[in-house]
Amino acid sequence: MSDSSDEQVRAGEDAERPTEPDSEDVEALRKQVEEKYDFEDFGPADMAEMTAEEWDVAFDEETWITGADLLDRVERDLRSRVATRDVFARIERHREPQHVLAYSDEGYAVVYPDGSVEGEGTVLRDVKPTVALCSMDSYEVPDEVPDNPLPEPDAVPEGGGELGNQMLQAIAGVQLLAGLAMLGGALFALLDVFGLGGPGANIEFLVVGGLAFIGVSLVLFFTVANARLSDKFRAEEYRDRLRAVGLEDGERPDFVPELTPEDDRESEAD
């Protein structure tokens, strides 16, 4: 009787004990994850789509980079992304206490040596994938990055597509001249000037074609004007965002927390 009860207890313990995943299954899942996600261009959307099982096989805890090395890699990678306009944020590296601070006019993110991240807004969304990637030794971080990837507000140009605008203007000018020439030919044919009003003259074709060319030229001129106006508004909006993150007065936005050594000791005590 006692033997059967012992066997039942052992069976219950075996049932409660979690089964470890087979190494072949883990390797197969890791291969699927590598094929499914592009870790060279890993972003917030990929991070949200990834399941807990996929995360575990993609990021091996034993090989994660932490500490000051992680913060150095995060700082360089974020500065590179800011320089290429993938991320809009001001990046600060602090030693006391150790952390990387990224903030814009719409949010902030604080990265700690253990890889944890806290913050709010779009900056937090952009920084989280960067921290995950920089934690992996296989991920290559740019070596040379600018110290100040954000430009000064006054250095922002009005627009960058001036060559394209000039080409559209040239095409629109040719279209306008062609349209006016066709309307002029129709008028001469109608008045029988220079012998253009003969039986072979197609006045309707000249009028319709001339109006079509003029219409196309007006559309192109409007497109150029709209593009220049849009570039001007975008440039001014970008300048306002640069001013909001303190590039002129050196002041951070009010929602960005101040992290001091005293705050760090208090958090450790808690």
Three-class SS state of 200: coil
pLDDT at 127: 92
Q: What is the CA radius of gyration of the chain?
A: 32
pTM greater than the 0.85 cutoff: no
Q: What is the pLDDT of residue 191?
A: 72
Note whether 76 and 145 are within 8 A (CB): yes
H/E run at residue 101: strand 99-103
Q: Indicate the DSSP class of residue 22.
A: P
Retrieve residue 93's tokens: 């590296």
The predicted-structure confidence for 182-234, as pLDDT tens digits, reads as follows 888 777 777 765 555 555 457 778 888 889 989 999 998 888 888 777 777 77
> What was the pLDDT predicted at 159?
62
**Ranges of residues in the chain whose predicted pLDDT is under 70:** 1-24, 26, 39-44, 47-48, 52, 55-63, 158-162, 192-201, 247-250, 260-270
The pair of three-digit structure tokens given for residue 169, joined into one six-digit string = 């203007």
Distance CA 177, CA 228 (A): 23
